[in-house]
Every structure is written in structure tokens, then in C-alpha cells.
């Protein structure tokens, strides 16, 4: 049974309709063959011409049938309940496929998920593609190191290319508005600047392989509960200063070939038929030149979607109808509800992206024997170890000294591997899943682990005795801990697509930690999770590491941080709340509603997402945004805020390593108007990551994006920087900002429309 999207269907209540009146099998309805003869020459293959000119030349040669072909995508895996057999030419077990046009030399578009590597749809008949997995997106963002994000992107993009894919469905950038969102692990942060820079870096790494990356899910797709039906209602200015700004910044930095519109509605309209999101903001104000593809099952109409700016329907068999299929699109063209100019524009955008991103000139082939897995394991390890956040370290319990101590390793399947997040983005590691049969039986489960056991990596370093206890019986685990010098407890919270989660660790793991901590004060907790979790035992344990889902080399990465082979240099990209009461919406909207019941989500926080909400309300979280300890300590000084001749505000300062170990500092700069008037007292304005030898100092200087000094004026479509005094903060997290200064800004306004 193909359960890949079964859950999705059940949730949308589309199944019944589809089964009774659904479209014909893809195999029978594959795009019609071109009738025109092949042209004698292919002037569009002249690489000295611009992508624009090449797309125009090619478009002129295309028949209407061919134009209809490029705007309609198929799911890349069989779906037995619906008798769906994907068309010949797909890469089996992939996310999607759009047939090519041989006559004109247009290659097929082979699409693979997603942000941590080449995923496989788990129900395909073929063996899984076993590939390298990066740590979760949230872990990469927690490095605060765009160089690593880019390298990771380049690595997974290379595996995508060598696996025969020219489109990677990566670039998840939805802001973490809702800590319970099951997909936070795919995204990364609550801050638009951090999101834009880090996700942008990863996208540009992926695209450095002459393939296209998406950025997704556009927009305001902040929770999984009711994702097919909910309307995210947030006024325009709030959206522009938060989620939309994250997209805007990432897109400016990475030029993604495609934008994937989301499942949810925005202010009433489905995101994939939102004239505001697609035509007005994306293609209008931001002058986006490439194409919008839908999420799989996110299209609800032909004319409305096409005219709102959707360029390509993805993943046929997930929509109720083949809205952009040859028949319905043909009818819409015939009755004029979709104009030929729109169909041309859809094709031009797709072709332009394929030319601009090297897809036309650098055909992909399945050459997976060329993947250098050893080299790629080093890339993912570097990312994972810099993303691990040291949350607590009483009496310098960490780093562990290599020596003859007796260590108890407890729980979390640490003897087998490390956890990964669930759903379409799941990458299957080499050697298969070492912990089969856990979690939900069907999509987004079962839970997949990567066979890189932390236990082995600890043993390799410990020198003394290392004993393992599975952790299922807290009393037995506590007994082992009492007999050991040190206890390392692994606790896991699995999260996944199509579901949301509580912030409480499942399976009695809080009781396990409490029991172990009671037996041994020298207890270290390693948390694998997709986002924030509650830690009722925090005060009783010696040390805590947030390891997220650390990917293919995760066990090694965790051990390297535990043993101080690298500094602990991750910093939280999200606030860890102390309780649900602190959230803007303590109750998750839509929870408990019958599947498929539409509902609205009002966002009381507006643009004040995450730490901004906590700051505005004066709430003390469990751990603040930006927080993370190091094995050394840093001092910050020399903060300067200077306005250049062109009006750019530049913030600079210095940081000194005060300890006797090398370490990596992440000095963070925040800014806010002295007299208030923003959604929150302060916003992240910049940061830098610096490696410092003991006693060494480093300087940093960051120009501030003027949008971060502005509020959005909807009527004028302008960013407005109010004249006046602004405060600037420098320090180690949003809650630890010891150095401040002030600067006067003259005030300015500038258009939100690119090129204006
Ligand atoms: C997800 C997308 C994914 C697509 C293709 C959808 O369920 O929301 O992120 O790229 O499936 O698998």
C-alpha cells in the first residue's frame, strides 16, 4: 500500500471525491507527443544569450500541447489505492516528474525532496536511495554559520544531480511561529534575518550544481494541524515584516529557480491561488522572474490558480482534479478563462529558470556510483557539530576528558544510531534503518534513524568502561547510573510532517532523566528533537546538549562535542518556551476539529514572532533565542553604530576569548527604537561567527539591512525608517546583551517594489 500521502488525503477529505470521480491513470493520460518536426537548429542553446532571450526563442517553437506539458507535474511514485502508475521516465520513488520535450531538447524535470538530502518516497517498490543526510534544517540554522549552510547545500545538491535529479524541493523557510509545528525541523528559526541568510546560503549551495532549488512553503504555513484548510490571517504589514521578509532576504541571496506555494490559505485564499502572494508580492513587488510550483495537493482550481500566478501544478495524483492537465487547461484556454499569454508566461518562467540555473546546458544522469560518501560524511558532520547547542554545563562537566572513567550511556537508541525527522524530507541513510518499526506505521512514519551510533563514538573516545542501558526501565537505568562516574542520557522527540506535537518528551523520558539524575549528579542529557522541548528535570542535571536531528554523521558529531574536540558553538535559532501559557496561542488552533473542517488562525503576535513576543510581553523563557554556551567564555566591547554617507547603518565591535581553550563566538547585534513603535523592543540586526584562539580578539562589522530598521507602510508600499534615537545592543543572546550604544537616524523611506 502506498501510504505516502494517505494522511494528506484523509485530511483534505478529497479521497471520496477522487475515488468516485477521479482522473484517469497518469499512464493513460501522459502528455501528448509533439506533432511538429524537430527544428533544424536550436538557437536557444546559444549560451552567449541571456536566459530571457533563450526562453523566448524556445517558446516560439513550442506547440500549445507542448506548452501544456511543462506546466503539469506527476508524482514520482506509485499510489496503489488510486491505481496510479507514474509515467515512464520518472525516477522511481521520487517526489515528482514533468516530462521533457525531446523534439526541442527540453529535458524532463526530475524533482527530489528535500532540505537535508535526497529523500525517497518510502512506499515505492524500488529499493530506497540511500544517501547522505545533513542535520535537520534547524540544526544548520543553529550553526549561525552561512559558510557551512552553503557547503551542506552544495553537498546535497551534488547528490541530487548524481542521483539524476535537476530540481531539489529544498529551501524550507517558514518562520517558527508555532513551536509545536511538526515541520520546524525542516525550517529553522523564528527570525527573518537569520532565516534569510542561512536558508539562502543553503539554496545557493544546492544551485551551484546547475540544478534548481525551490524555496518553500510560500507562505505563512506555520503549523501542520489543518494545513490543507486553515486560513492564516495576518495583516499585510505584519506579514511583510516577518515571514515574507524571510523569503525576500533568502531569495535576494540565492535566486531560487522556483517558489513552492503552500497548502494553507492566506487571508482566505489558498496560497496557490492567492493573487496577493503570487502576482502582487512575489512577481510584482519582488520582480521574481522564475516559476511558482504548487505543493503536492495544494491546487484547487484552473483559472483562479493560473490567473493568480501559479505556473506549474505539481504531483498529480494529489489534487482532486488535473487542474493544469491538458483537458482542463485546454478548456480554460478555449473559453478564455485562462489566456494564451498566461500559458506563455508560465512556460517562459519555467524555461527561464531552466536556462538560468544550468538545467538546460548540463543534463543530469543517474551516476550515483560517483557519490563520494566519505567526503560527504565530513560535510554533514561539520554542520551537525556546529549546530549542537550546549544549554547547560554545571561545574564544567563538559567537555569530557578522555580517560578511564566508567560511563553509562542510556536511552534514545544511542547504541544504534541517531534520529531523523519524518515525512517527505526523510533521507534514508546508507545501510538502512537500524531501528525499524518505531513511530507511526504510515506517513510520516515510521521513524528513520541513521546508523551512526553515539555509543560507538563515545566508546572510541572514552578509554574506560562504557555500559549501555536502553532506558525503558528508569529504575534499571538509575542503577547503572549510580554505579558509573558519568551518565549520558539520550532523549528523543520525533516530529514529522502532517502532524504537530506537544513540547513534552514522549515515552516517559522525563521520568527516565529524573531517575538517572537522582542517582548521579554527573548526568548529561543529549536531546534529539525537531525544536523546543520542555525540560522539567533541568535543574537536576549537570549538562544538556540540544543535538536536533544530527544527520548521517550525527553520532560522531555528538561525541566530538561531548569530548571537546570542537567547541560547543551552536546557538538557539528559536526560543524554548517555559510553558504553553507563554505562547501567543496557548491552544493550537484546529486541534480536535474533525479533519477537513476549515478554520481561521489569527496571529496575535503579528510580526512579533518568537523572541520578539517574549521580549514585548516581558516573559522569561526556558532558554532565549541566540543562547548557547561555549567551552570557553567571551567578552564583548567596542560597540559602534555609524551611519555612512549613503545612510547605511553599520554596527561594529569586538569579542575576546577570555578562556584557555580555542572557541567560536557568535556576537549578536540587536536594534530597536528608543521610543518604541515597533512590533517588539528589538530585532536581530546582524551577527558574525568568529573562531578565536585563547586570549585572542576579533573584530566584526555588519551593515544593517534598512528593512530591519523600518516598519512597513501598506498604503504607500514603502519601508519607513522613523527619524530618532535607536538603541543598539551587543552580546551573547537576546537575553544577554551587556554592551549598548545609541545612534540617531535621520529617517527615510524606500519603496518595497524592486527597481523603484
Ligand atoms: C510537502 C512538500 C514536499 C512535497 C513533495 C508535500 O507534502 O509539503 O514539502 O516537497 O510533498 O514530496
- Secondary structure of 335-389 in HEC code, one letter for each residue: HCCCCHHHHHHHHHHHHHHHHHCCCCCCCCCECHHHCCHHHHHHHHHHHHHHHCE
Mutate to test the pocket of ligand 1, among 424, 426, 427 (most ligand atoms within 8 A of CB): 424
Q: Whose CA is nearest to atom 4 of ligand 1?
A: 296
Atom of ligand 1 nearest to the CA of 111: 5
pLDDT (tens digit, 9 = 90+) per residue, 61-91?
999 999 999 999 999 998 888 899 999 999 9
Mutate to test the pocket of ligand 1, among 76, 93, 169 (most ligand atoms within 8 A of CB): 169
Mutate to test the pocket of ligand 1, among 112, 114, 170, 422 (most ligand atoms within 8 A of CB): 114
Residues 202 and 408: their CA atoms lie apart, in Å, by 37
What pLDDT was estimated at residue 124? 66
Active-site option among 123, 243, 285, 295: 295
Q: Across the chain, what does the average pLDDT equal?
A: 94
Q: Whose CA is nearest to atom 8 of ligand 1?
A: 295
Q: Is the pLDDT of residue 131 over 90?
A: yes
Q: Is the pLDDT of residue 616 over 60?
A: yes
pLDDT (tens digit, 9 = 90+) per residue, 543-572?
999 999 999 999 999 999 999 999 999 999
Residues 232 and 181: their CA atoms lie apart, in Å, by 14
Q: Report in angstroms the alpha-carbon separations of 67 from 39, 99, 313.
A: 16, 11, 13
**How many angstroms separate the alpha carbon of residue 295 from the centre of ligand 1?**
6
Residues 756 and 751: their CA atoms lie apart, in Å, by 6
**How many angstroms separate the alpha carbon of residue 294 from the centre of ligand 1?**
9
- Give which of 324, 301, 302, 327 is closest to 314, Cα–Cα: 324
- Residue 295 among the catalytic residues: yes
In terms of DSSP H, where are the helices of 13-111? Answer: 15-21, 51-61, 64-69
Mutate to test the pocket of ligand 1, among 296, 313, 443 (most ligand atoms within 8 A of CB): 296
Q: Whose CA is nearest to atom 11 of ligand 1?
A: 296
Q: Whose CA is nearest to atom 6 of ligand 1?
A: 296
Residues 645 and 623: their CA atoms lie apart, in Å, by 39
Residues 572 and 527: their CA atoms lie apart, in Å, by 13
Atom of ligand 1 nearest to the CA of 262: 8
**How many angstroms separate the alpha carbon of residue 530 from the centre of ligand 1?**
17
pLDDT (tens digit, 9 = 90+) per residue, 451-499?
999 999 999 999 899 999 999 999 999 999 999 999 999 999 999 999 9
What pLDDT was estimated at residue 25? 36
Q: Is the pLDDT of residue 14 over 60?
A: no
By DSSP bridging, strand 258-261 and strand 291-294 are parallel
The 10 Å Cβ neighbour count of residue 8 is 23
Residues 221 and 176: their CA atoms lie apart, in Å, by 10
**How many angstroms separate the alpha carbon of residue 77 from the centre of ligand 1?**
13
Q: Is the pLDDT of residue 537 over 60?
A: yes
Atom of ligand 1 nearest to the CA of 96: 5
Q: Whose CA is nearest to atom 5 of ligand 1?
A: 95
Q: Is the pLDDT of residue 356 over 70?
A: yes
Residue 584 sits at the vertex; the CA angle it makes with 184 and 708, to the nearest 5 degrees, is 70
Residues 596 and 529: their CA atoms lie apart, in Å, by 28
- Give which of 267, 270, 295, 292 is closest to 279, Cα–Cα: 292
Q: Residue 517: pLDDT band by 50, 70, 90 thresholds? A: very high
**How many angstroms separate the alpha carbon of residue 185 from the centre of ligand 1?**
14
**How many angstroms separate the alpha carbon of residue 292 from the centre of ligand 1?**
14
- Give which of 262, 263, 230 is closest to 603, Cα–Cα: 230
Atom of ligand 1 nearest to the CA of 263: 8
Atom of ligand 1 nearest to the CA of 113: 10
Burial tier of 727 (Cβ tally within 10 Å: 0-12, 13-18, 19+): middle
Atom of ligand 1 nearest to the CA of 8: 7
**How many angstroms separate the alpha carbon of residue 266 from the centre of ligand 1?**
18
Residues 661 and 317: their CA atoms lie apart, in Å, by 56
Q: What is the 3-state secondary structure (H, E, C) of 374-430?
A: HHHHHHHHHHHHHHCEEEEEHHHCCCCCCECCCEEEECCCCCCCEECCECCCCCECC
What pLDDT was estimated at residue 79? 86
What pLDDT was estimated at residue 209? 98
Burial tier of 447 (Cβ tally within 10 Å: 0-12, 13-18, 19+): buried
**How many angstroms separate the alpha carbon of residue 556 from the centre of ligand 1?**
30
303 Cβ contact list (under 8 Å, min separation 6): 332, 337, 338
DSSP conformational letter for 485:
S
**How many angstroms separate the alpha carbon of residue 88 from the centre of ligand 1?**
21
Q: Report in angstroms the alpha-carbon separations of 340 from 275, 278, 283, 293, 323.
A: 18, 19, 19, 19, 16
CA 235 to chain centre: 24
Residues 238 and 223: their CA atoms lie apart, in Å, by 18
Mutate to test the pocket of ligand 1, among 14, 95, 118 (most ligand atoms within 8 A of CB): 95
Q: Which residue shows C-alpha cell 549510580?
A: 482
What is the mean pLDDT of the segment spanning 197-202? 98
What pLDDT was estimated at residue 404? 65
Sheet holding 600-602, edge to edge: 269-270, 265-266, 231-233, 600-602
**Ramachandran angles phi, psi of 477, nearest 5°:** -65, -40
Least confident of 401-410, 596-605, 650-659: 401-410
Q: Is the pLDDT of residue 424 over 70?
A: yes
Q: Whose CA is nearest to atom 3 of ligand 1?
A: 424
Atom of ligand 1 nearest to the CA of 424: 12
What pLDDT was estimated at residue 36? 67
Q: Whose CA is nearest to atom 2 of ligand 1?
A: 295
Q: Residue 20: pLDDT band by 50, 70, 90 thresholds? A: very low
Q: Is the pLDDT of residue 353 over 60?
A: yes
Of all residues in the chain, what percent carry a pLDDT higher than 90? 91
Burial tier of 364 (Cβ tally within 10 Å: 0-12, 13-18, 19+): buried
**How many angstroms separate the alpha carbon of residue 424 from the centre of ligand 1?**
6
Q: Residue 22: pLDDT band by 50, 70, 90 thresholds? A: very low
DSSP conformational letter for 501:
-
- Give which of 725, 616, 595, 737 is closest to 666, Cα–Cα: 737
| Ramachandran bin of 419, using left for φ above 0, alpha for ψ from -120 to 50, beta for the remaining angles | beta
**How many angstroms separate the alpha carbon of residue 441 from the centre of ligand 1?**
19
Of all residues in the chain, what percent carry a pLDDT higher than 70? 95
Tell whether the torsion through CA atoms of 23, 26, 27 and 31 is positive or negative. positive
Residues 328 and 618: their CA atoms lie apart, in Å, by 54
List pocket residues of ligand 1, CB cut-off 6 Å: 95, 113-114, 169, 216, 295-296, 315, 424
Burial tier of 720 (Cβ tally within 10 Å: 0-12, 13-18, 19+): middle
Q: Residue 33: pLDDT band by 50, 70, 90 thresholds? A: very low
pLDDT (tens digit, 9 = 90+) per residue, 273-290?
999 999 999 999 999 999
**How many angstroms separate the alpha carbon of residue 57 from the centre of ligand 1?**
33
Amino acid at each position: 500500500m502506498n501510504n505516502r500521502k494517505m494522511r494528506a488525503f484523509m485530511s483534505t477529505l478529497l479521497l471520496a471525491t477522487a475515488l468516485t470521480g477521479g482522473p484517469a491513470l497518469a499512464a493513460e493520460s501522459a502528455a501528448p507527443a509533439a506533432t511538429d518536426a524537430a527544428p533544424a537548429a536550436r538557437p536557444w542553446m546559444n549560451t552567449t544569450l541571456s536566459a530571457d532571450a533563450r526562453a523566448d526563442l524556445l517558446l516560439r517553437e513550442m506547440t500549445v500541447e507542448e506548452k501544456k506539458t511543462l506546466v503539469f507535474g506527476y508524482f514520482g511514485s506509485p499510489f496503489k489505492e488510486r491505481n496510479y502508475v507514474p509515467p515512464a521516465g520518472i525516477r522511481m520513488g521520487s517526489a515528482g516528474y514533468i516530462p521533457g520535450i525531446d523534439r526541442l531538447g527540453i529535458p524532463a524535470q526530475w524533482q527530489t525532496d528535500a532540505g537535508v538530502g535526497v529523500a525517497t518516497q518510502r512506499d515505492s517498490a524500488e529499493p530506497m536511495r540511500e544517501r547522505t543526510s545533513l542535520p535537520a534544517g534547524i540544526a544548520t540554522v543553529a550553526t549561525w554559520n552561512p559558510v557551512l549552510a552553503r557547503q551542506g547545500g552544495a553537498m546535497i545538491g551534488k547528490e541530487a544531480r548524481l542521483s539524476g535529479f535537476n530540481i531539489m524541493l529544498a529551501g524550507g523557510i517558514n518562520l517558527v511561529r508555532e513551536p509545536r509545528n511538526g515541520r520546524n525541523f525542516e525550517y529553522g528559526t523564528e527570525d527573518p534575518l537569520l532565516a534569510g541568510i542561512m536558508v539562502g546560503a543553503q539554496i545557493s549551495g544546492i544551485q551551484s550544481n546547475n540544478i534548481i532549488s525551490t524555496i518553500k512553503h510560500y507562505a505563512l504555513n506555520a503549523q501542520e494541524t489543518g494545513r490543507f484548510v486553515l486560513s492564516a490571517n495576518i495583516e499585510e504589514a505584519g506579514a511583510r515584516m516577518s515571514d515574507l521578509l524571510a523569503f525576500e532576504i533568502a531569495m535576494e541571496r540565492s535566486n531560487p529557480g522556483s517558489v513552492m506555494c503552500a497548502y494553507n490559505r492566506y487571508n482566505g485564499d489558498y496560497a496557490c491561488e492567492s493573487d496577493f502572494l503570487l502576482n502582487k508580492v512575489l512577481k510584482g513587488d519582488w520582480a521574481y522572474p522564475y516559476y511558482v510550483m504548487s505543493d503536492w495537493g495544494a491546487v484547487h482550481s484552473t483559472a483562479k490558480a493560473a490567473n493568480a500566478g501559479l505556473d506549474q501544478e505539481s504531483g498529480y495524483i494529489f489534487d482532486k482534479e488535473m487542474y493544469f492537465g491538458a483537458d482542463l487547461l485546454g478548456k480554460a484556454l478555449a473559453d478564455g478563462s485562462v489566456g494564451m499569454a498566461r500559458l506563455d508566461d508560465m512556460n517562459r518562467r519555467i524555461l527561464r529558470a531552466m536556462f538560468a540555473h544550468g538545467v538546460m546546458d548540463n543534463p543530469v544522469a543517474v551516476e550515483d556510483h560517483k557519490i563520494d560518501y566519505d567526503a560527504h560524511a565530513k560535510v554533514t558532520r561539520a554542520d551537525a557539530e556546529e549546530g549542537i547547542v550546549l544549554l547547560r554545563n554545571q561545574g564544567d562537566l563538559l567537555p569530557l576528558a578522555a580517560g578511564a572513567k566508567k560511563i553509562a550511556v542510556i536511552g534514545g537508541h544511542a547504541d544504534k544510531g541517531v534520529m531523523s525527522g519524518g515525512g517527505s524530507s526523510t533521507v534514508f541513510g546508507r545501510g538502512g534503518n537500524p531501528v525499524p518499526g518505531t513511530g507511526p506505521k504510515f506517513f510520516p512514519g515510521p521513524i528513520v534513524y541513521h546508523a551512526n551510533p553515539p555509543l560507538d563514538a563515545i566508546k572510541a573516545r572514552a578509554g574506560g568502561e562504557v555500559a549501555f542501558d536502553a532506558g525503558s526501565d528508569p529504575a534499571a537505568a538509575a542503577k547503572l547510573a549510580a554505579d558509573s562516574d558519568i551518565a549520558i542520557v539520550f532523549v528523543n522527540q520525533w516530529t514529522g510532517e502532517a502532524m504537530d506535537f506537544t513540547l513534552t518528551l514522549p515515552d516517559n523520558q522525563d521520568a527516565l532523566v529524573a531517575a538517572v539524575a537522582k542517582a548521579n549528579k554527573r548526568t548529561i542529557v543529549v536531546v534529539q528533537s525537531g525544536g523546543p522541548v520542555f525540560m522539567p528535570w533541568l535543574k537536576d542535571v549537570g549538562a544538556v546538549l540540544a543535538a536536533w536531528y544530527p544527520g548521517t554523521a550525527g553520532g560522531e558529531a555528538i561525541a566530538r562535542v561531548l569530548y571537546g574536540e570542537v567547541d560547543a558553538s551552536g546557538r538557539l535559532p528559536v526560543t524554548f518556551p517555559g510553558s504553553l501559557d507563554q505562547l501567543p496561542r496557548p491552544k493550537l488552533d484546529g486541534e480536535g476539529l474533525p479533519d477537513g473542517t476549515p478554520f481561521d488562525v489569527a496571529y496575535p503576535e503579528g510580526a512579533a514572532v518568537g523572541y520578539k513576543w517574549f521580549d514585548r510581553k516581558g516573559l522569561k523563557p526556558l532558554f532565549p533565542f541566540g543562547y548557547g554556551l561555549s567551552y570557553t567564555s567571551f567578552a564583548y566591547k567596542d560597540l559602534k553604530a555609524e551611519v555612512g554617507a549613503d545612510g547605511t547603518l553599520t554596527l561594529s565591535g569586538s569579542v575576546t576569548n577570555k578562556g584557555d581553550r580555542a572557541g567560536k563566538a557568535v556576537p549578536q547585534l540587536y536594534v530597536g527604537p528608543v521610543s518604541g513603535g515597533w512590533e517588539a523592543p528589538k530585532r536581530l540586526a546582524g551577527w558574525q561567527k568568529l573562531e578565536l584562539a585563547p586570549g585572542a580578539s576579533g573584530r566584526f562589522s555588519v551593515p544593517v539591512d534598512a528593512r530591519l530598521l523600518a516598519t512597513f507602510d501598506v498604503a504607500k508600499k514603502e519601508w519607513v525608517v522613523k527619524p530618532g534615537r535607536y538603541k543598539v545592543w551587543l552580546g551573547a543572546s537576546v537575553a544577554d546583551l551587556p554592551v549598548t550604544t545609541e545612534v540617531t537616524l535621520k529617517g527615510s523611506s524606500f519603496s518595497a517594489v524592486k527597481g523603484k
